[in-house]
Amino acid sequence: MKLWNKGYSIDALIENFTVGNDRIIDVKLAKYDIRASLAHAEMLQKIGILTAEELELIQKAFASIADEINSDSFSIEKEFEDIHSKIEFELIQRIGETGKKIHAARSRNDQVLVALHLYYKDEIENIKQLIKDLFDTLIALAEQYKSVLLPGYTHTQVAMPSSFGLWFSAYAEVLIDDVILLNAAYAIVNQNPLGSAAGYGSSFPIDREMTTKTLEFETLKYNSIAAQMSRGKTERALSATLASVAFTLSKLANDCILFSSQNFNFIKLPKEFTTGSSIMPHKQNPDVFELVRAYSNKIQSLPNEINMMTSNLMSGYHRDYQLLKEPMMQAIEQIQAALAIFTYVIKEVKVNTAVLDDSKYDTLFSVEAVNALVMQGMSFRDAYQKVGKDILESQFTPSKNLHHTHIGSVGNLALEDIVKKFIDHFSRNF
């Protein structure tokens, strides 16, 4: 069944090519199509297209279909083009002629759009919750290890003293930026496109404000052309946001890979979280971090993929947009899996509390020595020259007693402030 069927058969090769993977992908949109269709039906009854009795029949039929969807017994067979044609077919099978009325005053264009907007809203909220789980874990680790020092690096060279508390809470605070971007993406998808039809509205006296309220959108996408132009633009915004989350995870995963190697030995994974080698019996590989890094780097390429598919298209609908669904859904699932597994693993990491006992880290404290001389009255430049000369002549003896007090330093992590900032953005109304 095709919603656009006019009584002739399409060439089999053309049909296979144009349908693509929609039958598989669209199952994820099934519950959202039901929800939007129910709201549309209620609106049709209000404006007199459906009677109260017809609406009741439709509601009962949709409830039955929704039960099948929730029990995973719902599928899209080959004779159906997509989820929308399958659901309309099921509706007609169950209630007859009344089911044929459901498509009045809408197009498959706004039908797809509203389902995608509802899907994106839910998935953004799921991603935010997973970020909160990781954030809470990182803050707890920062508090636990706030006094344990480790080397800080610039140019991948030993630089200045850092701490596990500073390192863990750095990534916690960076996650707030990702939440801010997720909130912005949510605001974009939180606009109701239903009622824009094929992009040019309808001659039916539809009530778009009613469906906006029913579907719990914050506002309408008022202009019908603008509503259709959100296809592609929405994915651009959301893909960039997913890439930002992925960037954070990729960097954190890379740190963990380096820090858990024997050369660094800052952290250690439980052996149960590692994999081995087929020929090297000593190996305990951090594959979980490497795969998080790989998935994250793959997601960071998504905005370019979306941008290339949506560039240079005139206003109005184009079938090109069909190809946006699969990479977007795949990226959403992968970022959620990466966030979940990272939270699971990082809380079990063992910290080496004696990292700085190794003499190769003595020069970490050179800036501390310079600052101490400045506090005694020497100019910074003379102090810098003196300490530098001592290091070159192997005369430098570090003092490892740190006294950092400013906000955001090793001695003042401002964890409560970071948590407050996170809560403010996490709980912000859209």
> What φ, ψ does residue 191 adopt, rounded to 5°?
-125, 130
199's torsion region: left (phi>0), alpha (psi -120 to 50) or beta?
left
Q: How many CA atoms lie within 13 A of 161 on its CB side?
A: 23
Which residues lie across from 154 on neighbouring strands?
A: 157
CA separation for the pair 331, 337 (Å, rounded): 10
Which residues lie across from 150 on neighbouring strands?
A: 162
Q: Which residue has the tokens 């800036």?
A: 367
CA separation for the pair 167, 146 (Å, rounded): 9
CA separation for the pair 130, 346 (Å, rounded): 14
Q: Are 197 and 109 in contact (CB under 8 A)?
A: yes
The terminus-to-terminus CA distance of the chain in angstroms comes to 39
Which residues lie across from 162 on neighbouring strands?
A: 150
What percentage of the chain's residues is helix, strand, coil (to nearest 5)? 65, 5, 30
Q: Are 398 and 368 in contact (CB under 8 A)?
A: yes
How do 191-192 and 267-268 pair as beta strands?
unpaired
Q: Are 183 and 124 in contact (CB under 8 A)?
A: no
CA separation for the pair 35, 41 (Å, rounded): 10
Q: What pLDDT sits at residue 6? A: 54
Q: What pLDDT sits at residue 14? A: 61
How far apart, in Å, are the Cα atoms of 236 and each of 302, 309, 310, 325?
A: 9, 10, 9, 12
The residue type at 42: E
Most distant CA pair in the chain, distance: 94
User: Of all helices (H) and strands (E), which one includes residue 413?
Assistant: none
User: Of all helices (H) and strands (E), which one includes residue 154?
Assistant: strand 149-154
Which residues lie across from 158 on neighbouring strands?
A: 153
Tell which residue, 83, 65, 90, has the closest CA to residue 23.
Answer: 83
All structural domains of the chain, each given as residue ranges with its CATH number in brackets, are 12-101 (1.10.275.10), 108-202+221-356+417-426 (1.20.200.10), 359-392 (no CATH)
pTM of the model: 0.92
Tell which residue, 420, 414, 286, 276, has the closest CA to residue 345.
Answer: 286
Length of the chain as a residue count? 430
Q: Are 61 and 99 in contact (CB under 8 A)?
A: yes
User: Of all helices (H) and strands (E), which one includes residue 162?
Assistant: strand 157-163
Tell which residue, 132, 130, 164, has the closest CA to residue 148.
Answer: 164
Q: What pLDDT sits at residue 4? A: 43
Q: Which residue has the tokens 């709201």?
A: 39
Tell which residue, 266, 282, 112, 252, has the closest CA to residue 169.
Answer: 252
DSSP structure class, residue 255: H
Q: Are 299 and 246 in contact (CB under 8 A)?
A: yes
The residue type at 408: G
> Which structure tokens are listed for 181?
């971007």
The one-digit pLDDT tens for each residue of the chain (430 residues) are 555 455 556 656 666 666 566 677 788 999 999 999 999 999 999 999 999 999 999 999 999 999 998 988 888 877 777 888 889 999 999 999 999 999 999 998 999 999 999 999 999 999 999 999 999 999 999 999 999 999 999 999 999 999 999 999 999 999 999 999 999 999 999 999 999 999 999 999 999 999 999 999 999 999 999 999 999 999 999 999 999 999 999 999 999 999 999 999 999 999 998 888 889 999 899 999 999 999 999 999 999 999 999 998 999 888 889 889 999 999 999 999 999 999 999 999 999 999 999 999 999 999 999 999 999 999 999 999 999 999 999 999 998 888 899 999 999 999 999 999 999 999 985 5
Question: Coil, helix or strand for 151?
Answer: strand
